[in-house]
Structure 1
Amino acid sequence: MRLINCKTLKLEFKELQDAPPYAILSHTYGGVTFADFNQTGREKLVGWEKITLTCQQALQDGLEYAWVDTCCIDKSSSAELSQSINSMFKWYAHSHKCYAFLTDYSCSESTDEDFAKCNWFSRGWTLQELIAPSTVMFFDKQGQYIGTKKDLSRQISQNININGDILTMTEFDAIRTRLYACSVAQRMSWAATRKTKREEDIAYCLLGIFGISMPMLYDEGGRAFMRLQEEIIKETNDMTLFAWQTSDHDVAKSFNEMHPAAKT
């Protein structure tokens, strides 16, 4: 994986098992790409401020490295993109701090009720980014600290239908054990109303939630979700997957209304 050296703002390649402690960014829109990162004038690009804020916060937290998906993955390489997506849950899980920036929330202007209604909580990719890290720190659009997922677990779980105890755990082994103890249908329900920009990503963003690896085939449409279900069947005897698929099941109905091409 590539990490940003927060002091030099240069990319360095590290194997995960040898990686120094690092912070990781969770966000909902694009930014500076891998191709743009080493170009002159990068400071003027949309998204550069997000990188500098991440690095500054990491240094404040005693971390010299950070990971930001837009610039740490060379998305022009299909092989690298596929490997990265399959590794994403693990990368978030091994981070020392995860910083989630809420671009539609302001500590000075928004209410407590507005917090869990932020766009960040409706996106597909941010589900694993909420669950996997031991520590998630939320910041508003001005970069002001809001709180951790543990501090805010009640608000989050009440509004987005996810088990509150998973959000309060601070050790990955405990998080993973509790996650895999949840039924397939329950985990599917967490993603039922979430959205992704690309159709295939509604399946790909759930790989880590189910401990599944599979190749990325963009432009396959709803077939990606069918492949995900096939892989889940290979790994578990949990029959709630089939209950979730039935037409009169509330979770399946909700998911299929949001993602009609994902029906089997």
Structure 2
Amino acid sequence: MAAQPRTILQVPLSSLSQECELDITPYAMPQRYRLIDCDRFIQDEMLCIDEFTDFPPVQYAAMSYVWKGNPLEPSEVKNHHRFSVAGALDGDPISIHVLSQACLAAVKHEARYIWLDRLCIMQTNREDKNWQIRQMSAMYKRCNPCIILPGGVQKLVRIDEETAWIHRGWTLQELLMPEHTLVLLAWKLGAGSVMAGDAFGTVSEVTPNESAVMSAADVLNACVVGYIELTSPRSPSPLLIQSCVFGAASPNLYATSVAMSEELASDPDARNHAIWQSALMRTSSRPVDMVFSIMGLFGVILDPKIFEKEDRIGATVALAKEILRKGGSASWLGMSFRLPPCSALCTFPVFAETSVSGKALVRTRTGLREVAEFVDGEYPNELGLGTPLPGGAMDDDGYFTFSSRAVHLVPGTSELDHKHEDKNIDLSRRLITSMNGRVWEIVSEEHVRGSTSVGNTYGVILGWFQDYYPGASLAHNKHYIKGMVVEEHAPERFHIVTFFSLHLRDREWVKSWQEHRFSVGGPNPLTHKRYTGGETFDENAAHRLQEVDNAYGKDERHIAAARARWARSQVEAEDYLLKYT
């Protein structure tokens, strides 16, 4: 029989303030689970925190939010009773109103407790914080539901207010781990059914004329297409409402939506690739947290104590090694075909610069640019070539050893034959143009064996990559087949030089390529402990995707963008209902 929880804190809500910092450290025991009692909060207006020795045997809702959220308007400050937490003063103060709405949403979904890390972790105790990081994936996996507060803990935001939630590292795990994830929004439009793209869902009120919840998948899809279509008993016709609370039609949205997609849930490569791609475009105050925040999604638990806070690359190697050891694939391959490879760990693109707020940025010769500008909303599809992303092994130096279809390459000497429909390959001379603009000629194994002047360079197939749209598969971009050019820099050790894409009509030819074994990494030595990203590259001379032929007509994304222009803001929709209903 599980031990009864111990109540470690009971304080009236009226006694909480920004001036008097709340600190649970004097009352809590390190390495314990803690939850906030919703009934006491709502009914008794008391902040009551219970502490459990073992994992809580009760239903609870876990909160997902950003440390620094949307600021209050000057007119809102007076009406928001907020309080601060010792050891977390760099984050927003917590609004009593937001916490109350979260408790109400939890209770409506039969959860008696909520878990909010700001209040349930001893923020001034390093021992407890390190232990809690290792429990984080379990806390989100076993919650029911997870409630996202996209604007942070000091205000609820509308669905048409953009937030930083999707740019933060930890929120990816918080979205994907739970079985049931909701978004809590400021909402005055009542309950109803919603449609985003080709996907259907519902909106449920928490407090009438004040707040509501939708499934995270519905909100993500709404942001992908730019609007949500609401059908409500209060409205004589469906309402199109602008949606950008997680951003607007960005690669980060596409990747996160792929990871959430029920249609793609049976394809581990698609989901895991989307996790890596999403993490690439997110940021955190500590570089190493970009690994800790996703490790649980791969069923891996690393010990935070063995990595310094700047050692993102060391933690990345440790995570990749463990994924491969457990039989997983190298699902990080192809996260971005337009960012140059990391100079020390080339199967990964250059790492972004991290910060406590803002977006993931890379350093180019013309200044800092968003990582999302160099990422495309696509996912690997095993059915295209009949093979998944490669598995294998990674050593301590970050070299990934695997087998894949490949052909030998030498630098080409002329332009492609542009009469050929596929501008990336000249069948008469077997030329390929890579994404950095270089031309390569395919040569036979016999030619290589008989030559002493040919270097050891290969074109290696990664897989078939497809664009994403909610509830549909896009078919406008026909350069689905993606690969990498690798060059030998030491005996039997290769590094990635660039990438290439091939037309879908080349599928049977590519499937005839022979398999080769490679060990790809480096080419520079790993620099553990202090690696923070920040490699500079020339974006104009970097990797370019092939031009998409628009002759195939408008795709679903273009149609959605056109409809989004007709959508109302949420405030306009609320005014419409007040006027006509």
The answer to whether the superposition gives a TM-score over 0.5 is: yes
Residue of structure 1 in register with 2:114 after alignment: 66
Structure 1 residues 231, 46: CA separation in 2 closer, same or farther (over 3 Å shift)? closer
Equivalent in 208, 216, 222 of residue 155 of structure 1: 222
| SS of corresponding position for 1:220 | coil
- Cα deviation for residue 23 of structure 1 reads 0.9
- Cα deviation for residue 217 of structure 1 reads 4.4
| SS of corresponding position for 1:140 | strand
Distance 2:283 2:53 in 1: 31
Name the stretch that deviates more: 194-203 or 117-126.
Answer: 194-203
Deviations 1:5-44 (A, max 9, x none): 11223111235654211111111126743789xxxxxxxx
| SS of corresponding position for 2:304 | coil
Contact 1:2–1:67 (CA<8 Å) still a contact in 2?
yes
Residue of structure 2 in register with 1:47 after alignment: 94
Distance 2:307 2:323 in 1: 25
Contact 2:256–2:274 (CA<8 Å) still a contact in 1?
no
| SS of corresponding position for 1:91 | helix
| SS of corresponding position for 1:11 | strand
Residue of structure 2 in register with 1:33 after alignment: 85
Q: Is 2:135 the partner of 1:87?
A: yes
- Cα deviation for residue 125 of structure 1 reads 0.9
Q: CA RMSD in A?
A: 3.8
Distance 2:85 2:302 in 1: 24
Residue of structure 1 in register with 2:185 after alignment: 140
Identity of aligned residues (%): 16
| SS of corresponding position for 2:61 | strand
Deviations 1:152-200 (A, max 9, x none): 342356642326464255xxxx97x76x544765432111111112333
Matches within 5 A, 1:6-25: 6-8=38-40, 9-14=47-52, 17-25=55-63
Deviations 1:195-227 (A, max 9, x none): 112333222212222322223249924314422
Q: Pick 1 or 2: higher relative contact order, CA cutoff 8 A, min separation 6.
A: 1
Contact 1:200–1:218 (CA<8 Å) still a contact in 2?
no
Residue of structure 1 in register with 2:174 after alignment: 129
Structure 1 residues 239, 154: CA separation in 2 closer, same or farther (over 3 Å shift)? same
Q: Is 2:275 the partner of 1:187?
A: yes
| SS of corresponding position for 1:52 | helix
Higher Cα Rg, which structure:
2
Distance 2:110 2:36 in 1: 14
Distance 1:199 1:136 in 2: 26
Distance 2:181 2:331 in 1: 30
Contact 1:210–1:232 (CA<8 Å) still a contact in 2?
no
Q: Give the count of matched residue pairs.
A: 244
Matches within 5 A, 1:216-255: 216-217=304-305, 220-236=308-324, 238-241=329-332, 248-249=340-341, 252-253=348-349, 255=351
Structure 1 residues 163, 199: CA separation in 2 closer, same or farther (over 3 Å shift)? closer
- Cα deviation for residue 74 of structure 1 reads 0.8
Contact 2:287–2:311 (CA<8 Å) still a contact in 1?
no
Distance 1:151 1:231 in 2: 31
Which residue identity does 2:314 align to in structure 1? M
Contact 2:273–2:331 (CA<8 Å) still a contact in 1?
yes
> Which runs of 5 or more residues in structure 2 are unaligned?
1-32, 41-46, 69-82, 188-209, 225-248, 354-360, 364-530, 536-581
Equivalent in 253, 260, 266 of residue 167 of structure 1: 260
Greater share of residues in helix: 1
Residue of structure 2 in register with 1:41 after alignment: none
TM-score (norm 1): 0.74
- Cα deviation for residue 106 of structure 1 reads 4.2
Structure 1 residues 23, 204: CA separation in 2 closer, same or farther (over 3 Å shift)? same
Distance 2:120 2:303 in 1: 20
TM-score (norm 2): 0.36
Distance 2:114 2:102 in 1: 7
Which residue identity does 1:248 align to in structure 2? P
Contact 1:149–1:168 (CA<8 Å) still a contact in 2?
no
Contact 1:122–1:193 (CA<8 Å) still a contact in 2?
yes
